[in-house]
């Protein structure tokens, strides 16, 4: 499929009346499709963002998820290369239950304050390569949820936005399993998080065998963050004992500046502490000068090479 011109979405959400509000360009069940051509997909999300409860704090506002710009479900051997996706009402490019996926040489662009406009979102997908992309949106540059495995994210310029995220996992007590993910050679600028693993209390499953390597942070809030207490709802989340296990996670050659004093934040649960974490050659300072800090709760592993701020991981993994 060649996209050489511009595909423009209807500007008004009212156009979706009587239709599935979660779909715009929706491709189901394909095997071996390649999308390229240098063109643009414009989701014209402005009116959707204006009506979102995340932005509009008075009623009526829209709580339902708006359409994703380009959404693949149940696919195999799909590649999307060399196109621009912009101003998505919600996620720009997403894959649910897909295998053997390639997403490269893409520009994904939306304003920093546009809600839920993730660049690339994966759910229940495996053998995915996300490389050579410029992503500048209002939410995660890359996010993955559900059961995802064998994912490679490389050569990404990310920001502004919320950074690169595994999770949120375990929402509503679900079992999610994310494994064998490698993120390397990325530049993150002005993002609200750097590399992040987040899970809800009460979830089950695991996030393991993850490696973040050669990452440069520029003015990033929370450059390294693991949060097993994620809670993105107006009311506080109930404390629960189950947690998505986080194990074998490496942060290697991560350097640059943090917009917040605390550059490393690792908050794990009492019942499922994070284990076998590694910080190797990490050097993060506060933007404008000054030493950063690190905080850990129920997290163990090792530090190697230069680690600044000093590692807070407890020693003593089995
Ligand atoms: C992931 O996709 C499944 C369908 O395969 C859906 O039920 C679930 O809600 C999705 N999860 C998220 C976080 O979107
Ligand atoms: C994810 O994997 C877990 C454990 O292997 C399984 O229980 C769960 O049903 C899977 N979820 C999906 C959506 O396939
Ligand atoms: C998921 O949890 C939210 C609150 O955390 C609740 O409002 C919602 O009903 C739950 N959904 C399901 C399908 O259990
Ligand atoms: C980061 O934010 C600063 C301050 O708003 C801005 O001057 C700079 O251009 C931004 N950098 C990028 C790469 O967006
Ligand atoms: C860093 O980001 C903050 C917003 O988080 C912004 O206000 C500030 O201008 C940025 N500083 C630089 C040096 O880019
Ligand atoms: C969860 O536990 C923390 C720490 O013990 C406590 O401060 C908080 O109030 C509890 N939250 C709820 C919703 O019970
Ligand atoms: C860490 O980075 C800062 C700022 O770039 C630099 O001045 C410092 O020498 C580095 N520390 C080490 C131990 O490499």
Give a yes or no: residue 17 inside a domain.
Answer: no
Q: Of 71, 92, 121, 162, which residue is the catalytic one?
A: 162
Same domain, 190 and 56: no
Q: How far is the CA of 118 from the centre of ligand 3 (A)?
A: 22
Active site residue 162: yes
Please give the share of the chain, as a percent, with pLDDT higher than 70: 100
Question: Into how many domains does the chain fold?
Answer: 2
Residue nearest to atom 8 of ligand 2 (CA): 175
The contacts of residue 308 (CB under 8 Å, 6+ apart) are 282, 283, 284, 285, 291, 292
Q: Which domain CATH number covers 221?
A: 2.160.20.10
Residues 273-282 have pLDDT tens digits of 999 999 999 9
**What does the mean pLDDT of the chain come to?**
97
Give a yes or no: residue 109 inside a domain.
Answer: yes
For residues 252 and 233, what is the distance between their CA atoms, to the nearest angstrom? 33
Same domain, 54 and 164: no
Q: Which domain holds residue 74?
A: 1-12+22-134
Q: How many helices (H) and strands (E) does the chain have?
A: 1, 22
Same domain, 45 and 168: no
User: Residue 316 above 80 pLDDT?
Assistant: no
Pair 279, 308: CB distance under 8 Å: no
Pair 214, 194: CB distance under 8 Å: no
Residue nearest to atom 13 of ligand 6 (CA): 238
Domain end among 134, 162, 178: 134
Same domain, 181 and 226: yes
Residues 242-255 have pLDDT tens digits of 999 999 999 999 99
C-alpha to C-alpha distances, 12 to 20, 63, 119, nearest whole angstrom: 14, 16, 22
User: Residue 283 above 90 pLDDT?
Assistant: yes
Same domain, 160 and 40: no
The mean pLDDT of 42-64, rounded to a whole number, is 93
Give a yes or no: residue 243 inside a domain.
Answer: yes
pLDDT for 318 equals 64
For residues 63 and 291, what is the distance between their CA atoms, to the nearest angstrom? 41
Same domain, 155 and 128: no
pLDDT for 137 equals 98
Same domain, 126 and 173: no
Element (DSSP H or E) covering residue 51: helix 46-51
- Would you say the CB of residue 241 lies under 6 angstroms from ligand 6? no
Reported confidence tier of residue 167, pLDDT bands at 50, 70, 90: very high
Same domain, 314 and 295: yes
Tokens 């850990």 label which residue? 296
- Would you say the CB of residue 240 lies under 6 angstroms from ligand 4? no
Domain end among 106, 134, 162: 134
Q: Is 191 helix (H, G, I), strand (E, B) or coil?
A: strand
Residues 173-230 have pLDDT tens digits of 999 999 999 999 999 999 999 999 999 999 999 999 999 999 999 999 999 999 999 9
Backbone φ/ψ region at 222: left (φ over 0), alpha (ψ -120 to 50), beta: left
C-alpha to C-alpha distances, 275 to 39, 201, 300, nearest whole angstrom: 45, 17, 5
User: Residue 44 above 70 pLDDT?
Assistant: yes
Residues 10-28 have pLDDT tens digits of 999 999 999 998 899 999 9
Domain end among 134, 161, 195: 134
The mean pLDDT of 289-297, rounded to a whole number, is 96
Residue nearest to atom 2 of ligand 7 (CA): 283
The mean pLDDT of 168-176, rounded to a whole number, is 96
Same domain, 26 and 44: yes
For residues 170 and 251, what is the distance between their CA atoms, to the nearest angstrom? 23
Judged by its nearest atom, the ligand closest to the C-alpha of residue 237 is 6
Same domain, 184 and 94: no
With helix as H, strand as E and coil as C, how does 56-83 read?
Answer: CCCCCCECCCCCEEEEEEEEEEEEEECC
Q: Is 47 helix (H, G, I), strand (E, B) or coil?
A: helix
Pair 228, 268: CB distance under 8 Å: yes
Give a yes or no: residue 311 inside a domain.
Answer: yes
- Could you identify the atom of ligand 6 that is nearest to the CA of residue 236? 13
User: Residue 295 above 90 pLDDT?
Assistant: yes
Give a yes or no: residue 205 inside a domain.
Answer: yes
For residues 209 and 180, what is the distance between their CA atoms, to the nearest angstrom? 5
The mean pLDDT of 94-116, rounded to a whole number, is 98
Q: Residue 182's CB: how many other CB atoms inside 10 A? A: 15
Same domain, 224 and 75: no
User: Residue 135 above 90 pLDDT?
Assistant: yes
Query: pLDDT: is 318 or 132 the higher one?
Result: 132
Same domain, 194 and 239: yes
For residues 277 and 299, what is the distance between their CA atoms, to the nearest angstrom? 8
């Amino acid at each position: 499929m060649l996209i050489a011109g511009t595909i423009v979405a209807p500007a008004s959400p009212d156009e979706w009346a009587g239709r599935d509000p979660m779909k715009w360009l929706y491709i189901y069940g394909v095997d071996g499709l390649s999308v390229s051509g240098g063109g643009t997909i414009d989701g014209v999300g402005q009116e959707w963002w204006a009506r979102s409860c995340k932005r509009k704090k008075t009623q009526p506002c829209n709580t339902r998820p708006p359409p994703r710009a380009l959404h693949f479900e149940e696919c195999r051997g799909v590649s999307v290369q060399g196109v621009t996706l912009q101003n998505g009402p919600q996620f720009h490019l997403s894959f649910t239950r897909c295998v053997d996926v390639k997403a490269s040489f893409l520009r994904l662009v939306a304003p920093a304050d546009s809600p839920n406009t993730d660049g690339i979102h994966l759910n229940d997908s495996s053998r995915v390569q996300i490389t050579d992309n410029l992503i500048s949106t209002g939410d995660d540059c890359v996010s993955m949820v559900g059961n995802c495995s064998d994912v490679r994210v490389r050569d990404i310029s990310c920001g502004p936005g919320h950074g690169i995220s595994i999770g949120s996992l375990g929402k509503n007590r679900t079992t999610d399993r994310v494994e064998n993910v490698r993120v390397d050679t990325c530049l993150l600028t002005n993002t609200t998080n750097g590399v992040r693993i987040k899970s809800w209390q009460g979830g089950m499953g695991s996030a393991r065998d993850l490696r973040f390597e050669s990452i440069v942070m520029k003015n990033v809030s929370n450059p390294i963050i693991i949060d097993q207490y994620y809670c993105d709802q107006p009311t506080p989340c109930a404390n629960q004992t189950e947690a998505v296990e986080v194990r074998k996670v490496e942060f290697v050659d991560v350097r640059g500046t943090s917009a917040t004093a605390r550059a490393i934040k690792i908050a794990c649960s009492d019942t499922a502490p994070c284990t076998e974490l590694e910080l190797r050659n990490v050097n993060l300072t506060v933007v404008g000068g000054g030493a950063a800090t690190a905080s850990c709760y129920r997290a163990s592993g090792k530090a190697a090479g230069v680690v600044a701020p000093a590692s807070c991981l407890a020693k003593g993994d089995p």
